[in-house]
Amino acid sequence: MELDFSTLVPYAGELVQGFVTTVVLTAISTLAGLGLASLVAYVRSGKASLLGRMLGGYVEVTRNTPFIVQLFFLFFGLSALGFKISALFAAFLAMTLNLGAYSAEILRAGIEATDRGQLEAARALGMSRLQSYRHVVLIPAFARIYPALTSQCIIVMLGSAVVSQISVFDLTYAANFIQSRNFRGFEVYLVVTLIYLLLAVGMRQAFGFVGRRAFAFRQGGNA
Amino acid sequence: MIEFTLWDIVRNLLLAARWTIVLSLIAFAGGATLGMLLTLLRLSSLKPLRLLASVYVDLFQGTPLLMQLFLAFFGAAALGFDVSAWTAASVALTLFTSAFLCDIWRGCVEAVPSGQWQASRVLGMNYMQSMRHIILPQALRLSVPPTVGFSVQVIKGTALASVIGFVELTKAGTMLNNAAFAPFTIFALVALVYFALCYPLSCYARHLERKLYGSGIR
Amino acid sequence: MHKPQRILKTFKGALASGLLVLASISAIAASTSALASSLADIEQRGTLRVAVPQDFPPFGSVGTDLQPQGYDIDMAEYLAEQMDVNLDLVTVTSANRIPFLQTDKVDLVISSLGKNPERAAVIDFSEAYAPFFLGVFGTEQAEQIEEPAGLAGKTIGVTRGSVEDMELTGLAPGDTTIKRFEDNATTISAFLSGQVDYIATGNVVAAQIAERESQRAPKMVFQIKDSPCYIGLSQGNDELKAKVNALIEQAKQNGTLESLSQKWFHTSLPESFGS
């Protein structure tokens, strides 16, 4: 059997559309997910509370069930109950909740490594609780766990291939679409897999670029 | 028209969960064996072997598991191998698992303080001897919690085998939903079964981790 | 302690490794061939492997024991019985039934398969073995539409790679949102859960949904085309095709098809159907 990649050329438009969707979806759920994670980690690192327990439940349920089941539940389960959300929004929600749960745990480990004395020092300098939290706890914790966070975001991007199953026009949807038209599944999947690989490498570089700038102040002390 | 009682749904989901467990065990056993081999390659003193293992790990960690499954299922056949959904799912999940375990274990070996290496070399051990008697036992101790933790990812990964038609828990869920149409109940139950499988492992991993690192501090 | 080194850190490295893998796979692929099983192979094996649906009642669905049942399954049983071989049922989705045939995972596809030029380019078809009318269906509450142009601005669900997908893609106005799902189960779920208010599917499938979920019973909006079902087989497998065609003809003559129609569709075969 001869592989023929030229049959993909007429479908370049679909590939581009899928690529853009995957990138945009990943970008916004990364931002939202990291925001959610900061919030959850903030609540859970404080005194034990009902809210903290509930957020703990959310983290455990998300981490211990498959992404595809969460997606089906949000898309079909909730809409059957009358909470109708679009496929794109369900995908965004599932990705955000996932990244949020995993990053919250990573972040919590980073926060727990914070020197409590520094926090007290910051309060003594007259910073508010939120201010000192931001400067003494959150930002250094982010810097400490930045590599782990980078990997987690890439895992969520790669996992997003599953959103094709609820009709979101992402890169995998494009691959399946082309496969159903030209019946050249193997070629399509190989090429799309390569695109995902490049996307993962690109994300790692982009995170590295942002990290070097955002946490520049730590470089001198650490290296 | 056939009516599905709640018991019919639960019974079928539990029956299908068997295949999720079997597939997870295959993937984990195969992945651990291959992962061990890769870790050895990765730590070898020969550069081409190290390079080979690194490229392998990066390829599997840098591409979606779903694509790996599609390629194993339809790709292998195009290459002339006749693979069933069983084989394809087992192979893809084994390869995926081995790449992640290799990365975890390499990290554990490297986390053994370098002073240990120097000490064993001073004692006159060669590379293999120091690896076997000094480094690996310590690395093994470090590797247990993250390995148990990763087994959760393997179980969750088997859910994607549903997409190539392998009838496990998730596929049974979609099949039942098509016949009984109760998506809220069915997918909540499916999630519950996964949770029952994964949560104890997550807790155990965390417990092991605390024991390992807690003992050092106290 | 040195930092873990990542080989695929750069685009160049990733692209080079990826292309290397791609090239080696292409080389292996070129040197092999996936051959279809001939009639003799099947008889020697003693087993007929048939791809059937499990998410497309009344053609194929599952009972409370999750075993497939339906018109297509009965058809497969009839063929295996007449050929005096064992039957191996392989459940497939609409999207992957052609690849199953192409990669010789099955000998026949009996999965309410409609004929279209895209498919005819890669596989062969038998004579028709079941009637099928494709249409666009909507809920009672949904806005009534008379013709394809009325779909402008609407969202409609369809199973990816099905005949109705191809037809709809050609018929629907540019600003129609077509939501394509992996399999029929997901398409039907999307309709029943209210994610889409219109679907393109077959008349008997819609009737089955109506019987099950009266609240969102799909009503025919307009018919797309008469698209009977054919049995799919790999190209050039002429002996097998002749055998299958002879058995379909026999089933038409001796009333087997008519009784299947009565059993699963609760109606007689249409007159156009050669009986």
- Chain A partners within 8 Å of B206 (Cβ): none
How many Cβ pairs within 8 Å bridge chains A and B?
125
In a domain, C14, yes or no: no
Looking at this predicted complex, what is its ipTM? Answer: 0.90
C157 neighbourhood in chain A, CB within 8 Å: 167
Mean pLDDT of B100-127: 89
Whether C21 is in a domain gets the answer no
| Number of folded domains that form chain A | 1
Tell whether A71 is covered by a domain: yes
Residue C126 binned pLDDT confidence (cut-offs 50, 70, 90): very high
Domain harbouring B195, CATH code: 1.10.3720.10
Q: Is C102 on the interface with A (CB under 8 A)?
A: yes
Residue A10 within any structural domain of the chain: no
Tell me whether residue C22 is in a domain: no
Quick check: C118 and A183 CB within 8 A? yes
Tell me the C-alpha distance between C69 and A173, whole Å: 30
Of A1-5, B22-26, C14-18, the poorest mean pLDDT is in A1-5
Cross-chain residue pair A190–C25, CB shorter than 8 Å: yes
The reply to whether C118 and C232 lie within a common domain is yes
Is 50 exceeded by the pLDDT of residue C19? yes
The confidence score (pLDDT) of residue C1 equals 32
Instruction: Report yes or no: C92 and C52 within 8 Å, Cβ to Cβ.
Output: yes
Q: How many residues does chain A have?
A: 223
pLDDT at C32: 64
Inter-residue contact B148 to B204 (CB < 8 Å): yes
Chain B CA closest to residue C27: B79
Residue B98's domain spans which residues?
6-217
C162 within a domain of the structure (yes/no): yes
C142, C126: one domain: no
- For A170, the domain range is 27-222
Which of the residue ranges A111-115, C7-11, C190-194 has the most confident prediction, judged by mean pLDDT? C190-194
A70-90 tens-digit pLDDT: 999 999 988 888 888 899 999
User: Is C118 touching A (CB cutoff 8 A)?
Assistant: yes
B-chain residue closest to A3, CA distance: B78
B1 within some domain: no
Q: What percent of chain C has pLDDT over 70?
A: 94
Cβ contact A185–B174 (<8 Å)? no
Report the domain count for chain C: 2
pLDDT at C35: 66
Q: How far is CA B37 from CA A84, B51, B56, in A?
A: 49, 14, 12
> Does some domain include residue C28?
no
> What is the per-residue pLDDT for B84?
81
Using alpha carbons only, what angle is made at residue A109 by residues A105 and A112, rounded to the nearest 5 degrees?
130
C52 and C114, same domain (yes or no)? yes
Using the Cβ of B66 and the Cβ atoms of chain C, whether some distance falls under 8 Å is answered with no
Task: Give the mean model confidence (pLDDT) for residues B139-155.
Answer: 94
* C-alpha span between C134 and C148 (Å, rounded): 13
Q: Would you list which residues of chain A are within 8 Å, Cβ to Cβ, of chain C? A: 1-3, 75-76, 79-80, 84, 86-87, 164-167, 173, 176-177, 179-183, 185-186, 190, 194, 197-198, 200-202, 204-205
Residue C67 has pLDDT above 90, yes or no: no
In a domain, C5, yes or no: no
C-alpha gyration radius of chain B: 21
Pick the more confident residue, C272 or C205. Answer: C205
Residue B156: phi and psi, rounded to 5, are -65, -35
DSSP secondary structure code for residue C201 in this structure: E
Distances (CA, A) of B131 to A210, B135, B212: 38, 5, 21
Chain C residues 52-71 within an 8 A CB cutoff of chain B: 54-55, 57, 61-66
In a domain, A22, yes or no: no
Question: Is residue C110 domain-shared with residue C169, that is, in the same domain?
Answer: no
Residue B97 placed within a domain: yes
d(CA B94, CA C206): 41
Average pLDDT of the residues of chain B: 90
Q: Which domain holds residue C154?
A: 133-226
Say which of B68, B74, B160 has its CB closest to residue A162.
Answer: B160
Note whether C191 contacts A: Cβ–Cβ < 8 A.
no
Is B198 close to A76, i.e. CB distance below 8 A?
A: no
pLDDT computed for residue B62 by the predictor: 94
pLDDT at B208 over 80: yes
* pLDDT per residue as tens digits for the range C184-215: 888 988 998 888 999 999 988 888 888 878 88
Shortest alpha-carbon distance between residue B37 and chain A (Å): 24
* Interface contact C66-B78, CB threshold 8 A: no
- Between B164 and C242, the more confident residue is C242
At C6 the pLDDT is 57
Residues C235 and C108 in one domain: yes
Residue C7 to residue B106, Cβ atoms within 8 A: no
Q: State the CATH number of the domain containing residue A172.
A: 1.10.3720.10
